[in-house]
Structure 1
Amino acid sequence: MAKYETGTVVQRLAGNVYEVDEGNSHIEVNQEVAAATGAGDLLIRVCPAHVYSREADGTIGVEYAACLECGTCLAVAPPGVLTWHYPASSMGVAFREG
């Protein structure tokens, strides 16, 4: 029986295909609510694709093109922090892991 090699998370994510809807982010962060609730650090910690980052000015950056559309951020973000919807039809991630 052949042994299945799983590889690193980065190697496995590299097998996915992303169709990016340039200029039309499907994720927006309400910076005021994120700062007031401390949700920015939470989003940075929990996102498996590292979509969220802390910018030099203290705001939360969003690299929406890398989003796995898993919904983890929606599950943990306090109300009002995120505006999130699925990307437009035929856009977003296409999983190739098999």
Structure 2
Amino acid sequence: MSPGQSYGLQAFDDRMSTVDFDVAERPHITVDNDVCRSCRTTDCVYACPAKLFVPTSDGGILFNYEQCFECGTCYQVCSGENALSWTYPDGGHGVAFRKG
């Protein structure tokens, strides 16, 4: 591959321009901060591709579900028993990908 060529990867902002979020009133993921406070790894913070998990000063986790890709990564990497409750968004809501 010559200099200046790419592998066809889109920049993050370009990729996000092809995503719509129809946010439901009820969060499809909830976090139990009592469980999170005992977590030593905070894997959800590092694994979420949308960077929606934020540690709080009291050891809890703030989760912003409004721009969630619904990939389930947080649920898979969470080591805290019942720290996350994950369901699909209510019917008709959630993420929608368009062709870019």
Q: Secondary structure at the match of 2:15?
A: helix
How do residues 84-95 of structure 1 correspond to structure 2 at under 5 angstroms?
Answer: 84-95=86-97
1:51 is matched with which residue? 52
Q: TM-score, normalised by structure 1?
A: 0.82
Instruction: Answer with 1 or 2: which has the greater Rg.
Output: 2
| CA RMSD in angstroms, aligned pairs only | 2.0
Q: Secondary structure at the match of 1:75?
A: helix
Q: TM-score, normalised by structure 2?
A: 0.81
In structure 2, relative to structure 1, the CA distance for the partners of 1:87 and 1:42 (3 Å cut) is same
1:68 is matched with which residue? 69
- Alpha-carbon distance in 1 for matches of 2:38, 2:49: 24
Preserved CA contact (<8 Å) 1:21 1:87: yes
> Kindly, what percent of the aligned residue pairs are identical?
34
Range with bigger deviation, 57-66 or 3-12:
3-12
Gaps of 5+ in 2: 1-5
Gaps of 5+ in 1: none
Report the number of matched residues.
94
